[in-house]
A and B are shown apart, each in its own frame.
Chain A
Amino acid sequence: MALRRRRRARPVLSTVLPGGALPPPSALELERRAWRTRRARRSTLVALASTLLFAVVAYLAVTRSPGWPRVQATFFSPSAALDALPEIAEGLLVNLQVLVVGGLLVLLVGLGTAALRTLRGPAWAPLRILATVYVDLFRGIPLIIVLYLVGFGFPALGLQGVPTSPFVLGTAAIVLVYSAYVAEVFRAGIESVHPSQRAAARSLGLTHRQTMRIVVLPQALRTVTPALLNDFVALQKDVGLISVLGAIDAVRSAQIQVGQTFNFTPYVVAGLLFVLLAVPSARLADAVTARARRRQQSGSLL
Chain B
Amino acid sequence: MSVLELRNIVKAFGSNVVLRGVDLAVDEHRVVALIGGSGSGKSTLLRCASLLETVDDGQVLLDGEDVTDPRVDADRVRRRMGVVFQAYNLFPHLSVLDNVTLAPTAVHGRPRAEAVEEARGLLARIGLADKAAEYPDRLSGGQQQRVAIVRALAVRPRVLLLDEVTSALDPELVGEVLALVREVAGQGMTIVMATHEMGFARQVADTVAFLDGGVLLESGPPAQVLGEPEHPRTRQFLARVIDAGRL
CB-CB < 8 A to B151: which residues of A? 204
Interface size on B, residues (CB 8 A): 39
Known: A199-B52, A204-B107, A205-B79. A301 touches B92 (CB 8 A): yes
CB-based contact A301/B52 at 8 Å = no
Interface size on A, residues (CB 8 A): 29
Assess whether B214 is interfacial by the CB under 8 Å rule. Answer: no
Give the distance to chain B from A112, nearest Cβ to Cβ, in Å: 22
CB-based contact B169/A205 at 8 Å = no
Assess whether A273 is interfacial by the CB under 8 Å rule. Answer: no
Give the distance to chain B from A157, nearest Cβ to Cβ, in Å: 46
CB-based contact B93/A205 at 8 Å = no
CB-CB < 8 A to B81: which residues of A? 203
Q: Mark B105-140, 1 if CB is under 8 A from A, else 0.
A: 111100010000000000000000000000111000
CB-based contact A4/B92 at 8 Å = no
CB-based contact A203/B52 at 8 Å = yes
CB-based contact A206/B88 at 8 Å = no
CB-based contact B107/A302 at 8 Å = no
Give the distance to chain A from B129, nearest Cβ to Cβ, in Å: 17
Q: Mark A1-38, 1 if CB is under 8 A from B, else 0.
A: 11111100000000000000000000000000000000
Assess whether B102 is interfacial by the CB under 8 Å rule. Answer: yes
Assess whether B210 is interfacial by the CB under 8 Å rule. Answer: no
Interface segment, one of A70-78, A207-215, A256-264: A207-215
Binding site for B on A (CB under 8 A): 1-6, 194, 196-197, 199-207, 210, 214-215, 218-219, 222, 298-302
23 contacts between A and B (CB under 8 A): A2-B112, A3-B94, A4-B94, A4-B98, A5-B93, A6-B94, A200-B83, A202-B52, A204-B83, A204-B155, A205-B79, A205-B108, A206-B102, A206-B106, A206-B107, A210-B107, A214-B102, A214-B106, A219-B92, A222-B93, A299-B135, A301-B88, A301-B92
Binding site for A on B (CB under 8 A): 47, 50, 52, 75-76, 78-79, 81-83, 85, 87-95, 98, 102-103, 105-108, 112, 135-137, 141, 144-145, 151-152, 155, 168-169
Given contacts A1-B106, A203-B82, 17 further A-B contacts (CB under 8 A): A3-B98, A4-B98, A199-B52, A200-B83, A202-B52, A203-B50, A203-B83, A204-B155, A206-B75, A206-B102, A206-B106, A210-B106, A214-B102, A214-B106, A222-B93, A299-B135, A302-B168
